[in-house]
Structure 1
């Protein structure tokens, strides 16, 4: 079960708000830990299945190498331009590698639903295109923090 935030209750999102937000957003920022202990952050598209965040990452990337060595991961999804519009979700935990790497489309029951979801959301397709360069990471968060500054104005 994910740890919930203690501070910022006025602006935190409810679980249905978090689910809706993560379903509609497309890009996240993924933070990993490099071998020298420094953080590495990069942007990725993602899919949210209501329990886990799914990331389709290049297998020949610094992110992938970092996670193979140390699976700790933090992800931020956020938007808004003006201070009163800022909203987002931070999820952290351990990355799990799912399916073959790189992914070539071999049958994998654990990926059927998420690949349909990801393909529709990001490519407008019913099936996932596989390029033999990417593979799946799943983050089922241990901790979740959220904020929606629009709540301060009574907008939501």
Structure 2
């Protein structure tokens, strides 16, 4: 892509933040034992502006991150070429065992997965819903994306 076109389609930091806040599915790539990418799609929430999701402690992505924290996240949308938008975050995935932030993210993601109204992080959630989500995430850890580099595009700007 030519430099001029690349600059025209780049999102501003505010546009990146709005785009990430408006979406909830992320493609997550970690490095497998053999060096090949391990790619999965996860539901996410933003924790202090960073992509965060819960996953099982023994999941392949957690095993990969414990061995090598390199992680890339891709959030994208659009169908036609002139609608394509996306943000790729390159950096490291932090595996967090602390139950408090895990619960905050779990409430948002769990509500979305259950088809319930999605709270903002830290908003109160119905106690029955809270209990169910807490049970579901008890064997999970939190993964937070710590980006070193962000690449974005919005073909609607062309």
TM-score, normalised relative to structure 2: 0.77
Query: Higher helix fraction: Structure 1 or Structure 2?
Result: 2
- 1:24 maps to what in 2? 22
Structure 1 regions of 5+ residues with no counterpart?
Answer: 1-5, 101-107
1:64 lines up with 2:70 in the alignment: no
Distance 1:121 1:95 in 2: 22
Q: Which whole-Å CA distance do the structure 2 matches of 1:70 and 1:84 have between them?
A: 36
Task: Please say if residues 87 and 148 of structure 1, whose CA atoms lie closer than 8 Å, have aligned partners that are also in contact.
Answer: yes
Contact 2:45/2:51 (<8 A) preserved: yes
Partners of 1:20 and 1:77 lie apart in 2 by 12
Shift of residue 99, structure 1, vs aligned partner: 2.3
Provide the residue aligned with 2:156 in structure 1.
150
Contact 1:26–1:122 (CA under 8 A) maintained in structure 2:
no
Runs in 1 of length 4+ with deviation above 3 angstroms? 108-123
Give 1:11's aligned residue: 9
CA contact (8 A) 1:51 1:140 kept: no
1:1-150 to 2 correspondence within 5 Å? 8-100=6-98, 108-111=99-102, 113-123=104-114, 124=116, 126=125, 127=130, 129=133, 130-131=135-136, 132-150=138-156
Deviation at 1:120, TM superposition (A): 4.9
Name the CA shift for 1:9/1:31 in 2 (closer, same or farther; >3 Å). Answer: same
Structure 2 segments unaligned to the other structure (5+ residues): 118-124
Q: Distance in 2 between matches of 1:115 and 1:133?
A: 12
